[in-house]
Structure 1
């Protein structure tokens, strides 16, 4: 059989640390994240929220803090959330922007904002999609289940940094 129609496949970033840093079972993960969110009682924030900093350790160490940060943005409307993480194991210069269609966690797939990702990559020759760090890195991944529970329709852009030179920090 021969087909002349193009085949389109969606590229999905698979989780690296599900079952380790956080539960791999969807129901257990949902209950754990919701528990952290339920216990969080953050102060009311006046004005527009433009950034939230969350820890990136295993949930048993950092989940309660991440719950506070995530609860601050619960049910807010963001078209795109940019997640910046660091590359613990793979050194490289500049920034690496994930260039896939979805990021998968046990809670499902989150759409990656390909338009914004491509614009960021085009901004500088020191920004690219370097796949290797995404194969082993957890720093951005552990944020995503919290975002899945508090922001229903947001897309994401995932950026990793390993080089903290002045020039690379200015790119952020």
Structure 2
């Protein structure tokens, strides 16, 4: 009997009705590159998520509870070490055109579609130009803490758009390459939105004609990130897309968030995983999925992927109008 992971956040982070879900993604894709592009949608999903810092030197912020709306929690950033550089360009209002047949990986946010869906769409819309048969989605664990890195132990995941089968052979190779940190487990997957919210974008483009590997990183240590890099190198090829799922800073004022998130964006553009790791360690920037982003960037570079590009940046205040407490979002691509 097949073991299928049912949707946990349909109707919250994105519409639970399949027709409305397809309509919302189509509308988001139409806004890619538009000068007035703002987050849109009717799903009431959260602007951000919980930042987990236990055992995770990549993260600069303290753990905060999951919030359904922006503007609920504020943190004092007065003592945080800041970058001396000027803020990096915040909005990149142009569609990605560098992907073609050379795209290998993307960074995309995982908040509710009404908040981060537009930024995610800048990463996903270009996938129509290239058919990937396998997708690896990397997510932090927001709902439960566990040591190591968990690959879902089951047969398929389901969303309102149907079922997507797991790429079990790919998962087995990853576990072999990343042992002992990587394991097959349900840990981190039961209610995790950081993987789930990406599937409808992929299904909108490819239908259910692809396989995927859901990976949740529990303890974002340097050692585990290196294990994840090794695991990715075992399976990366032209038919496989790697998705790093991460939001940026959480619950700062818009100006403070822009300063923190600009550091992250600059390191992505510079393709500098080591520099990003150092900035995170001293609190110059933050991201809930920092460890897995670093792991992917290192794997891309070691595999010979030559280029990175910032596609779009935004924050929850662009939609809510509340600039006192925002969550930052970024999308980027890695390609030859």
- Would you say same fold, with TM above 0.5? yes
Q: Which residue of 2 aligns with 1:4?
A: none
5+ residue gaps in structure 1? 1-8
Is 1:117 matched up with 2:109?
no
DSSP-derived class of the 2:198 partner: helix
Q: Which residue of 2 aligns with 1:34?
A: 26
Give the C-alpha shift of residue 136 in structure 1: 1.6
Q: Which residue of 2 aligns with 1:80?
A: 134
Q: Distance in 1 between matches of 2:20 and 2:135?
A: 25
Q: Distance in 2 between matches of 1:105 and 1:132?
A: 19
Q: Which residue of 2 aligns with 1:45?
A: 98
List aligned pairs for 1:112-151, cutoff 5 A: 112-123=166-177, 124-151=179-206
For the aligned residue pairs, the C-alpha RMSD in angstroms reads 1.4
Query: Residue 103 of structure 1 is aligned with which of 157, 176, 192?
Result: 157
Q: Distance in 2 between matches of 1:94 and 1:158?
A: 14
Q: Distance in 2 between matches of 1:143 and 1:46?
A: 18
After superposition, give the CA deviation of every residue in 1:130-162 in whole Å (9 maximum; x if it has no partner).
Answer: 213211210010000001112342211110002
Query: Residue 2 of structure 2 is aligned with which of 2, 6, 10?
Result: 10
Give the C-alpha shift of residue 46 in structure 1: 5.5
After superposition, give the CA deviation of every residue in 1:105-126 in whole Å (9 maximum; x if it has no partner).
Answer: 0000111101111222233122
Moved over 3 A (4+): none
TM-score (norm 1): 0.89
DSSP-derived class of the 1:52 partner: strand
DSSP-derived class of the 2:98 partner: coil
Q: Distance in 1 between matches of 2:24 and 2:182?
A: 35
Q: Which residue of 2 aligns with 1:156?
A: 212
Q: Which residue of 2 aligns with 1:3?
A: none
8 Å CA contact 1:76–1:151 kept in 2: the answer is no
Larger RCO, structures 1/2 (Cα 8 Å, 6+ apart) = 1
The structure number with the bigger radius of gyration is: 2
Q: Which residue of 2 aligns with 1:6?
A: none
Q: How many residues align?
A: 164
Give the C-alpha shift of residue 99 in structure 1: 2.1
Query: Residue 108 of structure 2 is aligned with which of 54, 61, 86?
Result: 54
Q: Distance in 2 between matches of 1:52 and 1:150?
A: 15
Comparing 113-122 and 62-71, the one that deviates more: 113-122
8 Å CA contact 2:150–2:185 kept in 1: the answer is yes
Q: Distance in 2 between matches of 1:25 and 1:40?
A: 23
TM-score (norm 2): 0.47
Q: Evaluate the alpha carbon distance shift between residue 165 and residue 150 of structure 1 in structure 2; reply closer, same or farther with a 3 A threshold.
A: same
Is 1:20 matched up with 2:18?
no
Q: Distance in 2 between matches of 1:99 and 1:88?
A: 18
5+ residue gaps in structure 2? 34-94, 229-336
